[in-house]
Amino acid sequence: FREDLKWDHRNLELVGTSQYDMRLDAIQQARQLARLLIVRAKIQLSEKDFDGLAETVLTGHRLAALIGSSEMVIPRLVGIAVIAQMRGIVETMIQTPDCPNLYWALATVPQPIIELRPAVEFELEGIRRGFPALWQAQSAGWTEPQAREQWTNAVVELARLSGFTHLRQNLEILTAL
């Protein structure tokens, strides 16, 4: 019932590979909550409780907008999927006899509710934020040993993220590239 809801993951503040360590548990829980809302809506639909159903669909749209307020693509896609499920309920509701006229309620829904472009732009900058040393290499004026150390650190971090456990043995081969 709040006017302003945010995830506050602060993804924009994450520098280095810590941005890739973030888990999306809250998004998964929100998906489960959306499933419960769908079940609730179907029960209300079977009972022709149109007032309750309208409130449930509104709650579903607010949940989707909250999920979609993240800076990342995956939560926004989940939000779009929740909206699609809610719209399916609305379509079924409209086809149900004795359903009130929903024209004005639906005409005022903003389009699109969730935009993907900002999230795609954010994630395209992920490599630059994740491995800033690679972008600083030419302007930093590092010596050969300093550049090799920065490259090694970047490779080690990338290997840690990808789950390579035998990296130390092959590090010489990777850093020679």
Q: Is 31 within 8 Å of 82 (Cβ atoms)?
A: yes
In the structure, what pLDDT confidence band is assigned to residue 154 with cuts at 50, 70 and 90?
Answer: confident
DSSP secondary structure, 60-125, as one string? HHHHHHHHTTSSSHHHHHHHHHHHHHHHHHHHHHHHSTTPPP-HHHHHTS-S-SS-SHHHHHHHHT
Looking at the predicted structure, is the pLDDT value of residue 139 above 90? no
List, for residues 78-87, the tens digit of each pLDDT value.
999 999 999 9
- What stretch of H or E contains 129? helix 126-130
The predicted pLDDT at position 123 comes to: 82
Task: Please name the amino acid found at residue 157.
Answer: E
Looking at the predicted structure, is the pLDDT value of residue 174 above 60? no
In the structure, what pLDDT confidence band is assigned to residue 48 with cuts at 50, 70 and 90?
Answer: very high
List, for residues 83-110, the tens digit of each pLDDT value.
999 999 999 999 999 999 988 888 888 8
Tell me the average pLDDT of the chain: 81
- What are the distances in angstroms from CA 99 to CA 13, 47, 50, 57, 90? 47, 12, 7, 14, 10
